Structure 1
């Protein structure tokens, strides 16, 4: 069993922004050399999240709008400090990690599934930790 560890930097340009990071994750998986196993991706922050969904631009904008509307409130207590309570709460609801299957050296995703980074308190640069655990291809 082999373990590979790396990091991905994601830079957002807006306060709430969905960005497709599937290709960056697949590159890290390729670097690992692991053919069969699991990939774990984890955000090192408290005001962003990772989701698995379709990467269609309209849906991505819909998610951004829904998050902004669903978590908007004028009376969050934490807002007295940083004005980002909604971001913390949204991240708590959605979670900050994904575990994905690896088959044949590739992410085993459904037809429309993409790894999406959801920024909730941008613009910022975020660090995502990638761990791949599994078997490398056997040399014959």
Structure 2
């Protein structure tokens, strides 16, 4: 069956464009232990769509972190366990990591004593509030840097963005689909950027 949908955009274009940041609270208190957790954020995102008044259009969700992923799939406990195991097989933690396993890898990113590695990383540190030209600040920055290259690699595998159509005010997801935030370096509070574009 073929379906052709023609959308006429008025000369003024879309009449709704809203952006926001949603906070996903950690389910466990305390410092990060490089755990992998999966959170269903569908209701949170649908709430943003509802509050924005979007009836027809597109909702884009982006992770605001380099060690989280956004994906759409079935939110089910055993599948989440399978996902954890699969990711850890593909990119096991470094032997120096708090999450080290029986078959660790060694990653250059985790050579904290060699970083920042070049001017670009130095400038990113300064832009983020770390005056690493000061030896004391450099030592502080290095001490707070986690040994988490595997978490970054996991995030690259999952991706950081999903775009979901919205029709009649509802996210167009399949019967078993959920929008999931996968925290790859947690537990910790996380932020999602959400943007809606369309018509009220």
Q: Mark yes or no: TM-score above 0.5.
A: yes
Q: Is contact 1:11-1:123 (8 Å) kept?
A: no
Q: Give the structure 2 partner of residue 79 of structure 1.
A: 110
For the aligned residues, what is the CA RMSD? 1.3
Q: Give the structure 2 partner of residue 66 of structure 1.
A: 86
Q: Give the structure 1 partner of residue 67 of structure 2.
A: 47
Q: Give the structure 2 partner of residue 25 of structure 1.
A: 45
Question: Is there any run of 5+ residues in structure 1 with no aligned partner, and where?
Answer: none
Separation (CA, whole Å) in 2 of partners of 1:33 and 1:22: 17
Q: CA deviation at 1:6?
A: 1.7
Q: Is contact 1:43-1:128 (8 Å) kept?
A: yes
Higher gyration radius (CA): 2
Q: Is contact 1:91-1:120 (8 Å) kept?
A: yes
Separation (CA, whole Å) in 2 of partners of 1:64 and 1:19: 13
Q: Give the structure 2 partner of residue 37 of structure 1.
A: 57
Q: CA deviation at 1:115?
A: 0.2
**Aligned pair partner of 2:172 in 98, 108, 112:** 108
Q: Is contact 1:16-1:68 (8 Å) kept?
A: no
Separation (CA, whole Å) in 1 of partners of 2:24 and 2:165: 22
TM-score of the superposed pair, with normalisation by structure 2: 0.65
The 10-residue stretch of structure 1 (29-38 or 5-14) with the greater mean CA deviation from structure 2: 5-14
Q: Note if 1:127 corresponds to 2:198.
A: no
Q: CA deviation at 1:11?
A: 2.7
**Aligned pair partner of 1:4 in 7, 15, 18:** 18
1 or 2, which has the higher strand percentage?
A: 1
Question: Is there any run of 5+ residues in structure 2 with no aligned partner, and where?
Answer: 1-13, 93-103, 113-145
Q: CA deviation at 1:20?
A: 0.7
Separation (CA, whole Å) in 1 of partners of 2:156 and 2:81: 20
Q: Output one character per residue of 1:2-41: Cα deviation in whole Å (capped at 9) or x when no partner.
A: 1011211113336210111111111011001010000000
Q: Aligned residue pairs: how many?
A: 136
Runs ≥4 residues deviating over 3 A: none
